[in-house]
Chain A
Amino acid sequence: EIVLTQSPGTLSLSPGERATLSCRASQSVSSSYLAWYQQKPGQAPRLLIYGASNRATGIPDRFSGSGSGTDFTLTISRLEPEDFAVYYCQQYGNSPLLTFGPGTKVDIK
């Protein structure tokens, strides 16, 4: 059974700083099937990155994704006030067929 681990659990940063979020899988994940989402309180998740490194429509270029195999990274180059939220990675194709990581909360320092 595949397990996604996200680190850190919480990232405390100031606006303007760089955020680096990690998603590690217990088994290899196809890059085509690794996505990242942002979720704010009371809202549905929003797709940020798909295929490990492709920005979804309308996503600012301060968001970037990278990685392959078992190690993936979401980077926010300069945090804007609206970026403070919880971020989830998601994989498809292993067993269970689809899983989310536990999330990384980015909060204001």
Chain B
Amino acid sequence: QVQLQESGPGLVKPSETLSLSCTVSGGSMSGYYWSWIRKPPGKGLEWVGHVYSSGSANYNPSLNSRVTISVDTSKNQLSLKLRSVTAADTAVYYCARMGYGDVRHFQVWGQGTLVTVSS
């Protein structure tokens, strides 16, 4: 059974870069889309972007200029970099996997990690 585990700093200073990793265990990354989704306190879910196992990525236009999502299938890891963060980027960040093939909903989720942007 595939499991996802997010990791990274819980506190990031304004204007710096938020960097998170997601380690995939129990399965291969090949053939799937891998996403980052966030949930600010008291708000709903927001898709940050996704990357296919080949490395091709798509991002939410609202974050496009600041975000990079990459995958390292040899290490079974997904990465997120969000530049020039502000307090508005404070959120629980989840990594998630879509299904195989033409499946565009999230079947597997990590537990999430809280990132606070504050000086």
Interface positions of A (Cβ within 8 A of B): 32-33, 35, 37, 39, 43-47, 50, 56, 88, 90, 92-93, 95-103
Q: Which of B50, B58, B61, B110 contacts A44 (CB 8 A)?
A: B110
In the complex, what residues of A have CB within 8 A of residue B112's CB?
44
**Of A44, A45, A97, which is in contact with the most chain B CB atoms at under 10 Å from its CB?**
A44
A56 to chain B, nearest CB (A): 8
A14 to chain B, nearest CB (A): 25
A92 & B44 in contact (Cβ 8 Å cutoff): no
A24 vs B109: C-alpha distance when bound (angstroms)? 25
Residue ID in chain A nearest B43 by CB atoms? A102
Q: Which of A47, A95, A96 contacts B47 (CB 8 A)?
A: A96
A45 & B47 in contact (Cβ 8 Å cutoff): no
In the complex, what residues of B have CB within 8 A of residue A92's CB?
104-105
In the complex, what residues of A have CB within 8 A of residue B104's CB?
32-33, 92-93, 98
Q: Which chain B residues (91-117) contact chain A, with CB distance < 8 Å? A: 94, 96, 102-107, 109-112
How many B residues have CB within 8 A of the partner chain?
23
**Of B58, B94, B106, which is in contact with the most chain A CB atoms at under 10 Å from its CB?**
B106
B109 & A44 in contact (Cβ 8 Å cutoff): yes
B45 & A88 in contact (Cβ 8 Å cutoff): yes
Query: B46 at the A/B interface (Cβ < 8 Å)?
Result: yes
**Of A32, A92, A96, which is in contact with the most chain B CB atoms at under 10 Å from its CB?**
A96
B44 & A44 in contact (Cβ 8 Å cutoff): no
- Name the 5 nearest CB pairs between A and B, nearest first: A92-B104, A35-B105, A44-B109, A100-B45, A98-B47
In the complex, what residues of A have CB within 8 A of residue B110's CB?
44
A103 & B50 in contact (Cβ 8 Å cutoff): no
15 contacts between A and B (CB under 8 A): A44-B110, A47-B107, A90-B45, A90-B106, A92-B104, A95-B61, A97-B60, A98-B47, A98-B50, A98-B60, A98-B104, A99-B47, A100-B44, A100-B45, A100-B46
Residue ID in chain B nearest A97 by CB atoms? B58
